[in-house]
Amino acid sequence: MPEKILIVEDEPTLQDTLAYNLQRAGYEVRLTGNGLEGLELAASFQPNLIVLDVMLPGLDGFEFCRRLRQHSTVPIIMLTARSDEVDRVVGLEVGADDYLTKPFSMRELLARVKAQLRRAEMFREELRKAQGDASPETVLRFGDLEIDESRHEARLGGEPLALKPQEYRLLNFFARHPRQMLSRERILEEVWGWNFIGDSRTVDVHVRWLRQRIEPDPSKPQRIITVRGEGYRFEG
Ligand code: CA
């Protein structure tokens, strides 16, 4: 069964190019240029991945992401019109997994698609394993902070933390490597699956969000320590 990709992009030329290249790479493709129709297709077509433009009629890409993320963890690659820090950060905040700035090469897009699909598959496998093994060892404890791998949930003082999927993955990765120096490149590779390009500021943005959730005083972090010029260390 080929993996299914939904393209939500209103620019006809880019639509055609995306569809042609993704089909040629062996994916089953559906297309729409409208955000609202895209949400309906996401439900009926059940894609393995979504390529999503930001500026769309009907519903913009950010709102699309926000609504879809309420019930779905399907990987989303966002297409932004300019290399705008705000678009990028908002995109990640609303739950996009990766982003590409127009114009981009089809080769780069295909590499990102492959990386995201591979990461999603690894994630499903971990989840299957965790569910098959409901032993108490799947809860990692650091004082009042608990990472419950079988439920994909983190708790602070017994209260579940409302983490986005990517924040949870990052915290889980830290928790699995306590007191180790972790470079931004390694974190990107293991948590985001970006082993070919990598924008390390993405890691910094997510660390900042995570600190706001788990640090008593995010301006003086005690759990996630910045190692100047090197990366981060999780002290739990
Ligand atoms: Ca557009």
Q: Is residue 115 part of a domain?
A: yes
Domain boundary among the residues 123, 154, 178 is at 123
Q: How far is the CA of 8 from the centre of ligand 1 (A)?
A: 9
With a pLDDT cut of 90, the percent of the chain lying above it is 60
Instruction: Point out the least confidently predicted range of 8-17, 61-70, 114-123, 188-197.
Output: 188-197
Q: How far is the CA of 147 from the centre of ligand 1 (A)?
A: 39
pLDDT digits (tens, 9 = 90+) for 162-219: 888 888 999 999 999 999 999 998 898 888 776 545 567 888 989 999 999 999 999 9
pLDDT digits (tens, 9 = 90+) for 111-164: 999 999 998 888 878 777 766 655 556 889 999 999 998 888 999 999 999 888
d(CA 172, CA 68): 23
Q: How far is the CA of 163 from the centre of ligand 1 (A)?
A: 29
Q: Is residue 173 part of a domain?
A: yes
Q: How far is the CA of 59 from the centre of ligand 1 (A)?
A: 11
DSSP state of 182: E
Segment 47-76 shows an average pLDDT of 92
- Order across the sheet with 49-53: list the strands: 28-32, 4-8, 49-53, 76-80, 98-101
Instruction: Point out the least confidently predicted range of 11-25, 43-57, 189-203.
Output: 189-203
The mean of the pLDDT values for the chain is: 88
85 and 149: one domain?
Answer: no
157 and 212: one domain?
Answer: yes
Report the number of distinct structural domains present in the chain: 2
Given this model, what pLDDT does residue 196 score?
Answer: 45
158 and 71: one domain?
Answer: no
d(CA 79, CA 104): 9
Indicate the pairing of strand 28-32 with strand 4-8.
parallel
d(CA 8, CA 66): 15
Q: 28: which strand partners?
A: 4
d(CA 168, CA 149): 10
Q: Which two tokens stand for residue 79?
A: 């297409």
Q: How far is the CA of 145 from the centre of ligand 1 (A)?
A: 42
Query: What CATH number is given to the structural domain containing 93?
Result: 3.40.50.2300
Given this model, what pLDDT does residue 77 score?
Answer: 94
φ, ψ of residue 159 to 5 degrees: the values are -95, 130
174 and 90: one domain?
Answer: no
Q: How far is the CA of 108 from the centre of ligand 1 (A)?
A: 19
Q: How far is the CA of 27 from the centre of ligand 1 (A)?
A: 22
64 and 143: one domain?
Answer: no
Query: What CATH number is given to the structural domain containing 163?
Result: 1.10.10.10
Q: Is residue 164 part of a domain?
A: yes
d(CA 123, CA 7): 23
φ, ψ of residue 53 to 5 degrees: the values are -75, 155
Q: Is residue 19 part of a domain?
A: yes
93 and 146: one domain?
Answer: no
33 and 85: one domain?
Answer: yes
Q: Which residues surround the ion ligand 1 when the cut-off is CB under 5 Å?
A: 10, 53, 55
Whose CA is closest to 15, among 82, 92, 102, 84? 102
Given this model, what pLDDT does residue 73 score?
Answer: 86
Identify the band that residue 80 occupies on the pLDDT scale cut at 50, 70 and 90: confident
157 and 176: one domain?
Answer: yes
Q: Look up the domain containing 212 and give its range.
A: 133-234
49 and 115: one domain?
Answer: yes
